[in-house]
Structure 1
Amino acid sequence: MSRSRARAVTALTLLLATTACTAGHQESPTGHPTAPPSATRQAGQLTLPLDAYASSTAETYAVEDAQDILMRRCMNDRGLEWKPLPRVSAQDIEPPNAGRYGAVEADAADFGYHPRPEPASVVRRNRAWDEREALPAEVQHAAYGTSGKGGCLKAAQRQLAGDTAPPDYHAFNQLTGTALEAARRAPEVRSAVRSWRTCMAKAGFDYEDPLAVAGSRRWETADPTSTERDTARTDVACQRSTKVMTAWAAAEIRIQRRLIKENADRLDEAKARKDRWLAAARRVLNRADG
């Protein structure tokens, strides 16, 4: 791991179960939906009970930005410059569950199963991370120490959260993947998927379910092909007509609530740590922003 990728060792690096990201890539919701979203609404509106126990992309950025402010002060005290990361616009942050059940967005016809181009503010931030790879050794050492976790990074983390340990998202990662797969096998979801398969077959496509088509190795090309776009367009239409997402979300909400009750101690501890880090980060940012 490169030292300048400090986000890889910050307290709130976003961790998602790989099974939850089959088709794509969070402001973390605070409440649970009372009913599953309609399949005709964008997946960006989908919230799940376990979302409250992990750090959203927006929250991860907030901690990174606050930590960066504290690192800059530390570096300046050592007579070194430290260029802060560019902020990411709120409108450029993807929702937490986009692509969780496959491609359901209208722009699948344009991008197929490929990710959409990164927004400008995300590109600027990634470029700034890349620039830190080329910092002089003296600056790298002051920022990250010899281990990549020391120096001003360690000082900033201690100043930010004191003795509060970084959250452990192992329970979230494990449970969100378990819930996705359990819901995938639920009778109502299997019934909806059968209808989806019939719809896809009428257009000449043969796939097991929306995750299988979204994750097909056929789409591992530099750019979306016409076949990929046609498949995605049909996929989205079939998902909406058969209400696969509605059934899958309803099943997963039910399963996640059960898992939360069964794992309350582990999840509550992780959430408490996350909330303390986030509250501290917001105080730093509020002071910095006046």
Structure 2
Amino acid sequence: MLPLALTGLLALSACQFAGDDDPAGDAHRLNSMQAFPLHAYYPDPDSDDAKVIGKAEWVLGKKCMVGLGFPGFATLDTRTVEATYPVRRGYPASSSMPGDDSPYGVDDPDRAADHGYHNREQDDSSQPMEWPVDQYVALTGRYETGDSRRAHGHPIPEGGCLGEAGRKIYGPPPKARKVNGVRVSGSYTTAAELWSKAARQARKDPAWKKADRAWSDCMREKGFHYSEPDKALYDSAWYGTAGSPSGKEKKTAAADAQCKLDTDYITDVHAVETRFQKAAIGKHKKELGELRAAVKQAVETSRTIIDKASRDARPTEAS
């Protein structure tokens, strides 16, 4: 993703020379996961490689589910689920929680005035499917109090059928680590850990703290009192208001977005976090190179799995 970031900066420079400076557009571009150096070590869910791996995981996963006593999975059309991860039936929709998929929160005052902090884009083409509890647990190996660790008398593999599929595709996962207090295990653990550490370091940097103060001063002038954007985003008053954010939430979010633009908040903090990420990449070239090699091999393994499943599904010609 570094070449893309460079391309974006060159394009911005060209616009400035043309007299078409667009701070809002620049902030929006930088306020995305793709704008960070470490994103190059994460899978792009829209890439062909990620789709191949996702399909292979479900090909193996549904075979595992049949083995656990769920015969209906034999006819599961994996095309409807291969780009998603299962959701436990009865859980609140993610839209009930404030936030979106951007690193720095709201950056469009008009959109924030309409949606408040409930700003997630809905893409019906890749909405995760809800599964009954017994199937969800067997697929994911994620348990809650009272959940059985067996399905129809069979032990559920670690990480469920999809976890087992991942191990067959990627090989044994690296040792699990805690990232932001959450136990993480998988091929992208190294990148996730480095990203989390860079973010923590960036927030302690004087330049980041200066950006927080400028944003907070701007908000105070508009009548809102928060020390940093996350304090506004995660105000408990916004929880449980999916689909109907209050007028106060909308006004706060709109002011938040406008202050980010007025103070160049996103540009400033992105520069700080990018600096720490680049330093992390420089120190961990070997591990990150191994990660890329593992993903490349996983893609090849996935193609083999899919090809075999396709051959097995063909009707045998009559002799």
Q: What CA distance in whole angstroms lies between the structure 1 residues aligned with 2:51 and 2:152?
A: 23
Q: 1:48 to 1:153 in 2, by over 3 A?
A: closer
Q: What CA distance in whole angstroms lies between the structure 1 residues aligned with 2:294 and 2:163?
A: 17
Q: What CA distance in whole angstroms lies between the structure 2 residues aligned with 1:49 and 1:151?
A: 32
Judge which range, 228-237 or 257-266, deviates more.
257-266
Choose the corresponding residue for 2:102, options 99, 103, 108: 99
- Give, in angstroms, the shift of residue 141 of structure 1: 5.8
Would you say 1:114 and 2:155 are equivalent positions?
no
Q: Which amino acid aligns with 2:103?
A: R
1:103-142 mapped onto 2 (5 Å cutoff): 103-105=106-108, 107-116=111-120, 118-123=122-127, 125-127=128-130, 132-133=135-136
**For each residue in 1:230-274, what CA deviation from the matched residue of structure 2 results, as whole angstroms up to 9, or x when unmatched?**
111111111112111111111111111111112223333333223
Give 2:156's aligned residue. Answer: 147
Considering Cα pairs closer than 8 Å and 6+ residues apart, tell me whether 1 or 2 has the greater RCO. Answer: 1
SS of structure 2 residue aligned to 1:39: helix
Q: 1:109·1:230 contact (CA, 8 Å) conserved in 2?
A: yes
1:255-274 mapped onto 2 (5 Å cutoff): 255-274=276-295
Q: What CA distance in whole angstroms lies between the structure 1 residues aligned with 2:291 and 2:212?
A: 34
SS of structure 1 residue aligned to 2:241: coil
Give 1:169's aligned residue. Answer: 188
- Give, in angstroms, the shift of residue 229 of structure 1: 0.9
Q: Please report the RMSD computed on the Cα atoms of aligned residues, expressed in angstroms.
A: 4.0
Q: What CA distance in whole angstroms lies between the structure 1 residues aligned with 2:236 and 2:159?
A: 40
Q: What CA distance in whole angstroms lies between the structure 2 residues aligned with 1:199 and 1:285?
A: 55
Would you say 1:227 and 2:248 are equivalent positions?
yes
Q: What CA distance in whole angstroms lies between the structure 1 residues aligned with 2:82 and 2:164?
A: 24
Give 1:200's aligned residue. Answer: 219
Q: Which amino acid aligns with 1:48?
A: F
Q: What CA distance in whole angstroms lies between the structure 2 residues aligned with 1:286 and 1:44?
A: 35
Q: 1:251 to 1:140 in 2, by over 3 A?
A: same
- Give, in angstroms, the shift of residue 98 of structure 1: 3.5
Give the structure with higher Rg (CA): 2
Give 1:246's aligned residue. Answer: 267
Would you say 1:66 and 2:66 are equivalent positions?
no
Give 1:13's aligned residue. Answer: none
Would you say 1:49 and 2:33 are equivalent positions?
no
Q: TM-score, normalised by structure 2?
A: 0.62
Q: Which amino acid aligns with 2:267?
A: T
Would you say 1:33 and 2:5 are equivalent positions?
yes
Q: Which amino acid aligns with 2:221?
A: K
**For each residue in 1:112-141, what CA deviation from the matched residue of structure 2 results, as whole angstroms up to 9, or x when unmatched?**
222536432333x32357794499x9x956
Q: Which amino acid aligns with 1:233?
A: A
Q: 1:260·1:267 contact (CA, 8 Å) conserved in 2?
A: yes
Q: 1:195·1:242 contact (CA, 8 Å) conserved in 2?
A: yes
Q: What CA distance in whole angstroms lies between the structure 1 residues aligned with 2:103 and 2:270?
A: 10
Choose the corresponding residue for 1:178, options 183, 191, 197: 197
Matched length = 249
Q: TM-score, normalised by structure 1?
A: 0.67
**For each residue in 1:39-97, what CA deviation from the matched residue of structure 2 results, as whole angstroms up to 9, or x when unmatched?**
2547347421111223344466642322222445677899942413415789xxxxxx9
Q: Which amino acid aligns with 2:107?
A: V
SS of structure 2 residue aligned to 1:107: helix
Normalized per residue, the structure richer in strand is 2
